[in-house]
Structures are given as structure tokens and as C-alpha cells.
């Protein structure tokens, strides 16, 4: 239930004007929801229609759960509190656009091939040191998630952080013209979604669409990335100021060194040549680099980044993106790293580093891996190429599932092959018998592989 003291986000008159719709009844909404299953008291329920569902079928259920009104495209009851619009998806978009137009918050847009959600969460923590900060919940970063996130933004927020995702060209262009960022962060450009792009350069061009919604803003870029110069040119076309982060000496926020220590990292860095240090509750070079991108944003906002280091030190990975659990295993306890939300070649390599950083000195490092999807015609070779990284890192044992991961399994040295399964369900059925005390286990794969089933089995069955 929402707190009684929470501010009113929308009343019926405001929502009517924003959407150019017709309000039925007088109501005040404390929140906005597109899911009747998770609707909360005080929400305006948005009855979106998809391929396999129609939100209009769940309006009455949402109202019973406490929704104050529903946005619909047809009058489903004369006595119901409604906001009637010609098209519900367009109505949600207009609601988000109206929120952006009236806010005084500084808006930060975050995109990139990997690291978007982690960077967004770091920014939320860091900027809270300077005022009320609102951020996209979870990964609501598409054509529904972006306007929904804007529509939910409190009127009192000083900073808004929005994650922007895509898998086709043109998608970010539309989102950025809605969000209109003051600052845009591109974490990195990597070989993801290659099924829909000719090459990595095309991915860089698509990600740089984030600049199209900006005027007199700042682009924060990873100077180490192979696409840096391409992104820089796109930013310069929009007359944006450029701040950089990375390992290279030219970086404005430079990573000097980092050390993985029992599940956290100690970072030593420099800003404009001045050294400083801080800790993060998340291991891996990728975490260190993304945190420096965050500090570059803080600096671009003309704030003293030293003042947010304590807040930033509290960052830890989100659900499915590196969370760590102790689980019961044969003879004692094991450590489980849940990185099951998604996967790409770049994020796989980062995850192997985290796995080895968390490995017990007297235990095994085990990787349970599912297919990486949307990689296009080179997908088989991109899977098999991971064998080199696994060997180089010293991962002890690998279990794989899925048709594409069979390529990796065959490329591995025989002593590192634990077993291959058709899918995550089969892996989940068999894997508990393989886990021993002191093991450290990484679970990772593309979201469609449902590697969360393996995580749940390990957490609950042992």
C-alpha cells in the first residue's frame, strides 16, 4: 500500500489535459501502473493492449485492488473512474511527455550495450547525496517503460535517471526525444543484438541516437571503447560537451587500479589529474569503470563528486545481475552468483572475472552457462570463443545448456567439461548433484534461456 503522505502525481483534470482524453469522475493518483497483478492502492491503471492480452479485461480487478482510475480506449462502465483516450499506448506516451515538460529535475539518460542497469542504480545512489533522485525501476527502458517511468516521476525530484534500451535502429531516437536528457551516458559498445545490425559500428550509431533529444548537454563516454571516436563525432554534431572515463591516460575520470577483495573492489582513480580512492560492494573491472562514468555525470552537474563517494560505496548488484547467495551443498556451504538476467560476450567475460574474484581458495569455480541470443550469423563462433577466456581465467568446470552453447562446450578442454543439457530445465534437474561445499557457482545466460530456473533450484533444493 502506498504511504498516505505520498504526493499526488496526477489528478483527473491534469491527466485529461496531458492525454487530450476525457476523465470520468474526479480522482487523484499517487502512482501509475501497467500491470493489474502488481497495482497498488492509489494507482492510475493503464489498460495497455498486447499481442496476447488486453488490459481492458483487468480494469475491474485493478480497481478492486485499489487503483483510483483506469486509462482506457473505450467506456467500459458509466460509473467507473476512467480516463478515456483514443489510444492507450499513445495516452501513456503523452502522460510521460507532460511529466517531462513540467519537471525542473536534471535528466540523465543511460544507454550502452552492457552495464546500463548497474550504472543507473549507481547514479541513483550517488545523486541522492545532492537531492531527491528518481530512477527507472528495474529495466523499464522501452517504448512502454520510458513513458511509464516519466509518468511516475515525483514533482519534487531534483534528478531523474532513465535507462534507454533498444535492439533495433531508431528505437532510442524516439525514446530520447521523449526523455530529453540533459546528460547522456553511453557505458560501452559491444557485440550485442548483431542479429539486427550489420556490425558493431551500426550498433554505435544506434546508441548515439540518445544525443538527438539533447540541447546544450553533456555526453559521458568510455574513452577506452573501440567506438569512442565514432560516438564522439555524433556528440560533436549536436554541440555537446564531452566528459570521458576509462583506463586511458586521456580519460577525465581515469581508473588507475582496482583490487577485488572478498566480494567488493577497492578503486584508485584520478579526476583531472587529482587522485582519490573509494570502495564498491561489487567486484570486477566493469563495476569500477561504470562507477567512474557516474562520477563524470556528477562532475558535469557541477557537484563535488567526493561528496557522493560514501553513497556510491553502498552499491551492490541488482537481482539477476550479480547478486550473491550462500547455498547448502554437499558437506557444507557454497556460493551462488546469480547473473541470470541476460548475457553477451562482453558481459560473460566480465562475469568470469567476478566468479574468480569470489572463488574460495580451497574450492572450485563453476560456470553454468546458457545461450547468448541475438548475435546473428557469427553466433556459433562467438560462443566457442569464450573457451579461451574460461581457460585464461582458470575456471575449473563448465556446464552448458542450449543449442548455441554446445559450440562452447565442444571448444573447452575435456577436463573442464561438466555436462551439456538441452535447456535450463534439464540443467536444473541435474545440477544439484554436482555441487560441493566451498564451490563458487556462476549462473548466466540470455533472458530467454530462463537461467533463473537453475538459480531457483540451487537456492531451494539443496
User: What interhelical angle do 386-393 and 345-358 show, nearest 10?
Assistant: 20
Beta strand 332-339 with 323-329: parallel, antiparallel or unpaired?
Answer: antiparallel
Q: Is the dihedral of CA 79, 82, 86, 89 positive or negative?
A: negative
User: Whole-angstrom Cα distance, residue 368 to residue 458?
Assistant: 11
Radius of gyration of the chain (CA): 23
Contact 309, 122 (CB under 8 A): no
Which 8-state DSSP code applies to residue 277?
A: E
User: What interhelical angle do 88-102 and 171-179 show, nearest 10?
Assistant: 50
Q: pLDDT by residue for the chain (462 residues), tens digit each? A: 344 457 899 999 999 999 999 999 999 999 999 999 999 999 999 999 988 889 999 999 999 999 999 999 999 988 999 999 999 999 999 999 999 999 999 999 999 999 999 999 999 999 999 999 999 998 788 899 999 999 999 999 999 999 999 989 999 999 999 999 999 999 999 988 888 899 999 999 999 999 999 999 999 999 999 999 999 999 999 999 999 999 999 999 999 999 988 788 999 999 988 999 999 999 899 999 999 999 999 999 999 999 999 999 999 998 899 999 999 988 899 999 999 999 999 999 999 999 999 999 999 999 999 999 999 999 999 999 999 999 999 999 999 999 999 999 999 999 999 999 999 999 999 999 999 999 999 999 999 999 999 999 999 865
- Beta partners for 327? 334
Question: How do the domains of the chain map onto residue ranges?
Answer: 10-87, 103-312, 323-461
Cα torsion for 119, 89, 446, 192, to the nearest 10°? -70
The strand ranges marked E within 282-364 are 323-329, 332-339
Beta strand 69-72 with 365-370: parallel, antiparallel or unpaired?
Answer: unpaired
User: Whole-angstrom Cα distance, residue 330 to residue 256?
Assistant: 41
CATH fold match for the domains 10-87 and 323-461: no
Q: Does domain 10-87 have CATH number 3.40.50.720?
A: no
What is the CATH T-level fold of the domain 103-312, as seen in this structure?
3.40.1190
Q: Is the dihedral of CA 241, 246, 252, 258 positive or negative?
A: positive
Contact 301, 295 (CB under 8 A): no
User: Whole-angstrom Cα distance, residue 149 to residue 110?
Assistant: 13
Q: How many CB atoms lie within 10 A of CB 244?
A: 21
Which CATH code fits 323-461?
A: 3.90.190.20
Amino acid at each position: 500500500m502506498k504511504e498516505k503522505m505520498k504526493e499526488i502525481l496526477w489528478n483527473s483534470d491534469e491527466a485529461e489535459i496531458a492525454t487530450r482524453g476525457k476523465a470520468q469522475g474526479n480522482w487523484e493518483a499517487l502512482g501509475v501502473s501497467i500491470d493489474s497483478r502488481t497495482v497498488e492502492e492509489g494507482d492510475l491503471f493503464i489498460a495497455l493492449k498486447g499481442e496476447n492480452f488486453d488490459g481492458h479485461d483487468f480494469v475491474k480487478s485493478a480497481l478492486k485492488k485499489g487503483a483510483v482510475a483506469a486509462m482506457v480506449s473505450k467506456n467500459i462502465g458509466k460509473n467507473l473512474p476512467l480516463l478515456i483516450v483514443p489510444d492507450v499506448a499513445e495516452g501513456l506516451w503523452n502522460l510521460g511527455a507532460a511529466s517531462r515538460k513540467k519537471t525542473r529535475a536534471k535528466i540523465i539518460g543511460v544507454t550502452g550495450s552492457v552495464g546500463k542497469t548497474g550504472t543507473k542504480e549507481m547514479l541513483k545512489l550517488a545523486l541522492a547525496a545532492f537531492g531527491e533522485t528518481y530512477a527507472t525501476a528495474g529495466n523499464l527502458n522501452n517504448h512502454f517503460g520510458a513513458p511509464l517511468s516519466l509518468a511516475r516521476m515525483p514533482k519534487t525530484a531534483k534528478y531523474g535517471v532513465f535507462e534507454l534500451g533498444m535492439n533495433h535502429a531508431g528505437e532510442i531516437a524516439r525514446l530520447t526525444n521523449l526523455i530529453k536528457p540533459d546528460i547522456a551516458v553511453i557505458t560501452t559498445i559491444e557485440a550485442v543484438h548483431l542479429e539486427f545490425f550489420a556490425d558493431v559500428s551500426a550498433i554505435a550509431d544506434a546508441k548515439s541516437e540518445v544525443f538527438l533529444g539533447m540541447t546544450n548537454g553533456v555526453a559521458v563516454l568510455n574513452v577506452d571503447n573501440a567506438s569512442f571516436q565514432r560516438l564522439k563525432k555524433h556528440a560533436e554534431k549536436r554541440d555537446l560537451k564531452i566528459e570521458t572515463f576509462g583506463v586511458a591516460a586521456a580519460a577525465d575520470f581515469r581508473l588507475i587500479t582496482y583490487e577485488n577483495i572478498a566480494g567488493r573492489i577497492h578503486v584508485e582513480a584520478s579526476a583531472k589529474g587529482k587522485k582519490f580512492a573509494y570502495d564498491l560492494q561489487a567486484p570486477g573491472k566493469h563495476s569500477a569503470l561504470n562507477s567512474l562514468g557516474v562520477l563524470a555525470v556528477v562532475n558535469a552537474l557541477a557537484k563535488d563528486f567526493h561528496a557522493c563517494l560514501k553513497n556510491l560505496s553502498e552499491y551492490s548488484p541488482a537481482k539477476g545481475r550479480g547478486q550473491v547467495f550462500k547455498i547448502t551443498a554437499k558437506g557444507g556451504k557454497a556460493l551462488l552468483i546469480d547473473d541470470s538476467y541476460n548475457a553477451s560476450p562482453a558481459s560473460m567475460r566480465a562475469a568470469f572475472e567476478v566468479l574468480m574474484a569470489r572463488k574460495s581458495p580451497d574450492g572450485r569455480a563453476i560456470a553454468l552457462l546458457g545461450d547468448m541470443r541475438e548475435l546473428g550469423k557469427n553466433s556459433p563462433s562467438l560462443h566457442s570463443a569464450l573457451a579461451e577466456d574460461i581457460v585464461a581465467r582458470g575456471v575449473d568446470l563448465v556446464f552448458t545448456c542450449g543449442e548455441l552453447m554446445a559450440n562452447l562446450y565442444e571448444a573447452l578442454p575435456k577436463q573442464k567439461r561438466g555436462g551439456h543439457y538441452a535447456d535450463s530445465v534439464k540443467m536444473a534437474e541435474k545440477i544439484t548433484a554436482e555441487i560441493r561445499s566451498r564451490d563458487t557457482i556462476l549462473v548466466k545466460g540470455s533472458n530467454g534461456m530462463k537461467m533463473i530456473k537453475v538459480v531457483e533450484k540451487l537456492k531451494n533444493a539443496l
